[in-house]
Each structure stands twice: as structure tokens, then as C-alpha cells.
């Protein structure tokens, strides 16, 4: 039998984005731009670069602009065409050509696990990726592509991790695991602890917003009771998965920004702006000359 491929990527985008109020009162967090690109587009481009053919976005009320963003904008395209703005036209077309995109509604923000469960019928009986759009990752090889390469080898669910030093670890799910001899970046997961006190953290390996999951997660999420905050937690579903199947952690190569958090969003904006050919030099100079930085 041929090995399963990761063809579908699920983007939970139905959360309320309260950490980013008031900006997110009427604008979805996923549409906030880092430099000039909505954060969800970074994730969709990553999934396409990793070979995914179908993008499944879990949306909620007030999120229809996400659908508009990935759709053809007839008026915009004809205006750009008639004005001869070929570069901008190519950019607009690139966005609407980014793979096949399907949408499913999560009627209430009942947690990340619940959002993933909404995608069950669209995913079907195959392993799939989950990308949290507010985790923007800058990596020489797209993070999901690295994970798919590991999946081809281990053939089990994979959780992306990063090392978090100090008390910040308490904001994450943390892996208790053993590195594989064949690849020390891959951890054999023995257990997961959600948001531990720093002294109780089993390691510094925090789970971040990239997952490859086997379809068994759906039947387990169906049975998972509501957890912290009265929400269906994806981590609780993964803990249940661990009782049935092998799960691995993967310490990806690259830098992750939590763009759903104000400080993380600012860091991503500065780093991505500095890398831009059209802006980087002028922005670097402006930062260098900032009086506030020299005091």
C-alpha cells in the first residue's frame, strides 16, 4: 500500500482574537497585515509550498473578509489591468490562485479542538495538517514542509515545538519526550502537560501552531470533554491520541512569531520589513536613527 500524503491543511480562524482588541472588534485577527500581507496568507503560502492541495479555513461570524481575500476581485483586477499595473495585478491573481480553498463555519468559538473537529467531513479519513494562522514562521524551508518530510519517515502525528526558556513556558502545552537517535530534532512523545507552572514543566519543548494529525483525532475529539475555559482543547484530544498511537514532536528550523499577541506581532513586522528588498534598507536606517533607541 502506498504511504498516505498530507494533501489538506486546516486553518482554525474562528477565534475571537481578544488579545488584539480593539483592532479585532470588526476585523478578523487573521487579516491583520504583517507589513502588507494578512497573517493568514503567510500560513496558506506555507501550506502550498509544502505541497498541500486543499486549504480548509474554519471561520466564524465576522470573518467573511477572509473568504473575499482568497477570492477573485473582479473590480480590482479590471482596474489594475486598465491602468497597466501589471505587478499589482499579478499579486492579486497570485492570491486568488493559491490552491483550492474550502470554508466551514464554527458557529461558536468553543475552542481549538472544536474548530479542528468542524473540518472532519472535509478532511475525511486521511492524515492532515493544522496551521494556526497567528503563528507566523520565518524559515529557510517552510516549517510544514520540514514536518511533512519527518512524517514520511515516522508515519504518525507530529507536533511542532520550540524551546521556551524561563517562566514563558507556562503559556504552552509542553512535551515530555525522548529525542530519536536517528534524528535528535524528533521527539518520541511520552506525555503532554498543558500550561505547566515553570517548575512542573517536563521540558522546555513547547508546542506551537503547526500539527500533522492522523484522522483518529476526530473520533477522539468527539468524545473529549470540555476542558480549560469550558472549551474543547486540541491538546486534550492529542493526549487521548497518545493512548492509541505514536505521536512525535519536531523541533523545526526557523523562527516563529506569535502574531496573535501584540509584542509578537510587532517583532514579526520589524523582522519581515527588514528582510524586504523594497523597504529593508530605508527601514533599517530609520530604526538606527530613532532617538528613542539611542537613549
Applying CB under 6 A, the residues found at the interface with ligand UTP are: 12-20, 29-30, 58, 106, 109-112, 114-115, 132-134, 260
Closest CA to 242 of 168, 152, 173: 173
Q: Where are the alpha helices (DSSP H) in 50-136?
A: 64-69, 74-82, 86-96, 112-118, 120-123
Q: Cβ closer to ligand UTP: 48 or 110? A: 110
Minimal distance, residue 240 CB to ligand UTP, in Å: 19
User: Rounded to an integer, what distance in angstroms lies between the CA atom of residue 89 and that of residue 77?
Assistant: 6
User: How far is it between the farthest Cα atoms of the chain?
Assistant: 65
Q: Cβ closer to ligand UTP: 156 or 256? A: 256
Minimal distance, residue 168 CB to ligand UTP, in Å: 15
Q: Which residue is nearest to ligand UTP (CB)?
A: 15
- In whole angstroms, how far apart are CA 155 and each of 11, 49, 89, 199? 22, 20, 41, 33
Query: Count of alpha carbons within 13 Å of 216, Cβ hemisphere only?
Result: 13
Minimal distance, residue 4 CB to ligand UTP, in Å: 25
Whether residue 152 contacts residue 158, with contact meaning beta carbons closer than 8 Å, is answered with no
Minimal distance, residue 181 CB to ligand UTP, in Å: 34
Q: Cβ closer to ligand UTP: 109 or 279? A: 109
Closest CA to 210 of 74, 29, 10: 10
The cell numbers describing 185, all together, are 530534532
Minimal distance, residue 171 CB to ligand UTP, in Å: 10
Q: Cβ closer to ligand UTP: 132 or 186? A: 132
Minimal distance, residue 228 CB to ligand UTP, in Å: 11
Q: Cβ closer to ligand UTP: 15 or 249? A: 15
Q: Cβ closer to ligand UTP: 109 or 226? A: 109
Q: Cβ closer to ligand UTP: 56 or 248? A: 56
Minimal distance, residue 173 CB to ligand UTP, in Å: 11
Q: Cβ closer to ligand UTP: 211 or 250? A: 211
Minimal distance, residue 136 CB to ligand UTP, in Å: 11
Beta strands in the chain (DSSP E): 8-12, 33-34, 37-38, 54-59, 100-105, 128-131, 135-138, 157-163, 173-179, 186-194, 205-213, 247-251, 255-258
Strands 128-131 and 205-213: antiparallel
Q: Which residue in the block uniquely carries the three cell numbers 519517515?
A: 153
User: Rounded to an integer, what distance in angstroms lies between the CA atom of residue 118 and that of residue 62?
Assistant: 17
The cell numbers describing 44, all together, are 496558506
Amino acid at each position: 500500500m502506498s504511504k498516505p500524503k498530507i494533501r489538506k491543511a486546516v486553518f482554525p480562524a474562528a477565534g475571537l482574537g481578544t488579545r488584539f482588541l480593539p483592532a479585532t472588534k470588526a476585523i478578523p485577527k487573521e487579516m491583520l497585515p504583517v507589513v502588507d500581507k494578512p497573517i493568514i496568507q503567510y500560513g496558506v503560502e506555507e501550506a502550498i509550498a509544502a505541497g498541500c492541495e486543499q486549504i480548509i479555513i474554519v471561520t466564524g461570524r465576522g470573518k467573511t473578509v477572509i473568504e473575499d481575500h482568497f477570492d477573485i476581485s473582479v473590480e480590482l483586477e479590471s482596474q489594475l489591468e486598465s491602468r497597466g499595473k501589471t505587478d499589482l495585478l499579478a499579486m492579486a491573481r497570485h492570491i486568488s490562485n493559491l490552491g483550492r480553498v474550502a470554508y466551514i463555519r464554527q458557529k461558536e468559538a468553543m475552542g481549538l479542538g472544536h474548530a479542528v473537529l468542524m473540518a472532519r467531513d472535509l478532511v475525511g479519513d486521511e492524515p492532515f495538517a493544522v496551521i494556526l494562522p497567528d503563528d507566523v514562521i520565518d524559515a529557510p524551508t517552510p516549517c510544514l514542509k520540514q514536518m511533512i518530510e519527518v512524517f514520511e519517515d515516522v508515519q504518525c502525528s507530529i507536533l511542532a515545538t520550540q524551546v521556551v526558556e524561563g517562566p514563558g513556558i507556562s503559556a504552552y502545552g509542553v512535551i515530555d519526550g525522548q529525542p530519536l537517535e536517528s534524528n535528535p530534532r524528533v521527539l518520541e512523545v511520552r506525555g503532554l502537560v498543558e500550561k505547566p507552572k515553570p517548575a512542573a514543566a517536563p521540558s522546555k519543548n513547547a508546542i506551537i501552531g503547526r500539527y500533522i494529525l492522523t484522522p483518529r483525532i476526530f473520533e477522539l475529539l468527539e468524545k473529549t470533554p470540555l476542558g480549560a475555559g469550558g472549551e474543547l482543547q486540541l491538546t486534550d484530544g492529542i493526549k487521548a491520541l497518545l493512548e492509541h498511537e505514536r505521536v512525535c514532536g519536531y523541533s523545526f528550523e526557523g523562527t516563529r512569531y506569535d502574531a496573535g499577541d501584540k509584542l509578537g506581532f510587532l517583532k514579526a513586522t520589524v523582522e519581515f520589513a527588514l528582510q524586504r528588498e523594497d523597504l529593508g534598507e530605508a527601514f533599517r536606517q530609520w530604526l538606527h536613527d530613532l532617538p528613542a533607541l539611542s537613549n
